[in-house]
Amino acid sequence: MQIDLTDTIKQSLFSHSLLRRNFKVVLDKIQKIKSKSSIKICFDGSETVFKKDILLEELSQIIEAHTFERAKYYVNRLIKSITEIKRSKINDLNLNRWKEYDDLITDSLWIFNKRDSSGAHNAGYWGNFIPQIPNQLLRRYTKKGDWILDPFAGSGTTLIECKRLGRNAIGIDLSEEAIKLCNSNLDREIKPFNVLIETILADSSEINLKKQLNKYHIKNFQLIIMHPPYWDIIKFTKEKNDLSNAATKEKFLNMFGKVLDNISPHLEKKRYLAVIIGDKYSEGEWIPLGFLTMQEVLKRDYKLKSIIVKNFEETTAKRNQKELWRYRALVGGFYIFKHEYIFLFQKK
Ligand SMILES: C[S@@+](CC[C@H](N)C(=O)[O-])C[C@H]1O[C@@H](n2cnc3c(N)ncnc32)[C@H](O)[C@@H]1O
């Protein structure tokens, strides 16, 4: 079904009542279209596809505008969304159609009820993050064809999302087991775009990234996603350079800083760095790893853009222990972790 708005719009510009009447006719016509989630709209030779509910919302807004001026403003906005594409420098979103990205989160509180387990995504690697995190970040902060670095690749959640969304990526991990898992997960994911995804077994505080970038004739990365160990909560390997083997909090922060210093020169200016991390308890004390790592980043050439709080979705193990943890919290005078952080920084 195709709706041509050219005449409706041109004949509506004489009076407010005419405009209302003409747009009401279009609205009724669209409302009658059954089981259609998208509708092709034309204006003056340009055409585009709209989500039905968004289009109905736009038309209602035009009809319900209190003044003729306001109504004409909404009509012009509708024309722009049909005829023009407004892109930002760092993503592929068409800002003239921003209402359609209703699944892109813009609040600082992220609540997910369950992890995305589509395609190759799985919860098999203890400590991996939910795919929705890299998905949101990649769509907001990169374009198709950009290069992404994940220096703590783990089971490859970021890399799978990159493959899916048409972004090139390099994932590094010093665990042989993680890199093997990464590769097998990536093999299971279909490749809709022609992108390069490379996994490297290495220490992110020492790897020569310049060499890696030269291999692909690219200058730098457009987004870095860091999901380091939450200090020693999960011991990933026996390697001494594994951040989860840091003997003290200070050493952990120092190792995190070394990784930052090694990767930061290779992030394009004005582009984003995301750090995903949670806090920990030790000997009855809350250790704010989130804010401590945030401070490490802010000692460098970055500006803080957002602090996002994300809920922990409940695992079966946690659900079974819920009562016990509630009792412990009441006795010990603390609160049970229900969140982790996503810190967003922009390179100056
Ligand atoms: C929290 S996990 C990352 C999980 C990943 N986001 C995913 O979804 O699978 C942290 C990873 O960092 C790795 N790691 C720790 N120290 C490292 C270092 N110095 N260089 C590279 N990788 C490191 C660990 O082996 C572990 O796989």
Predicted confidence band at 186 (pLDDT cuts at 50, 70, 90)? very high
Residue of 290, 216, 226, 217 whose CA lies nearest to 261: 226
Non-local (6+) Cβ contacts of 129 within 8 A are: 157, 227, 276
d(CA 168, CA 147): 5
d(CA 23, CA 9): 8
Q: pTM of the predicted model, to two decimals?
A: 0.92
Ligand 1 centroid – CA 173 distance (Å): 6
Structure tokens belonging to residue 315: 């695992």
Check if the beta carbon of residue 159 is closer than 8 Å to that of residue 132.
no
Mutation test residue for ligand 1: of 117, 122, 173, the one with most atoms within 8 Å of CB: 173
Per DSSP, what are the bridge partners of residue 342? Answer: 276, 308
d(CA 119, CA 192): 12
The predicted-structure confidence for 97-107, as pLDDT tens digits, reads as follows 998 898 999 99
Residue of 266, 271, 270 whose CA lies nearest to 222: 271
What amino acid is encoded at 132 in this protein?
Answer: Q
280 φ/ψ angles, rounded to the nearest 5 degrees: -145, 160
The predicted-structure confidence for 304-334, as pLDDT tens digits, reads as follows 999 999 998 766 667 778 888 899 899 989 9
Ligand 1 centroid – CA 229 distance (Å): 6
d(CA 62, CA 75): 7
Per DSSP, what are the bridge partners of residue 306? Answer: 344
Ligand 1 centroid – CA 70 distance (Å): 53
Q: Is 289's pLDDT higher than 80?
A: yes
Domains by residue range for the chain, with CATH: 2-84 (no CATH), 109-347 (3.40.50.150)
d(CA 248, CA 265): 27
The predicted-structure confidence for 111-163, as pLDDT tens digits, reads as follows 998 899 999 999 889 899 999 999 999 999 999 999 999 999 999 999 999 99
Mutation test residue for ligand 1: of 242, 245, 255, 261, the one with most atoms within 8 Å of CB: 242
Q: Is 1's pLDDT higher than 90?
A: no
Burial classification of residue 158, based on how many CB atoms lie within 10 Å of its CB (0-12 exposed, 13-18 middle, 19 or more buried):
buried
The predicted-structure confidence for 35-84, as pLDDT tens digits, reads as follows 667 889 999 999 999 889 899 999 999 999 999 999 999 999 999 999 99
What is 86-152 written as a DSSP string? -B-SSS--BGGGGGG-TTS--SSEE--SS----TT--S-STTPPPTHHHHHHHHHH--TT-EEEETT
Non-local (6+) Cβ contacts of 85 within 8 A are: 94, 96
Q: Show the ligand 1 pocket: residues with CB < 6 angstroms.
A: 125, 127-129, 151-152, 154-155, 157, 172-175, 178, 203-205, 227-229, 236-237, 241-244
Residue of 294, 305, 292, 308 whose CA lies nearest to 347: 305
Mutation test residue for ligand 1: of 135, 152, 172, 235, the one with most atoms within 8 Å of CB: 152
Q: How many CB atoms are closer than 10 A to CB 231?
A: 26
d(CA 288, CA 279): 5
The predicted-structure confidence for 242-287, as pLDDT tens digits, reads as follows 999 999 999 999 999 999 999 999 999 999 999 999 999 888 899 9
Predicted confidence band at 225 (pLDDT cuts at 50, 70, 90)? very high
d(CA 140, CA 146): 12
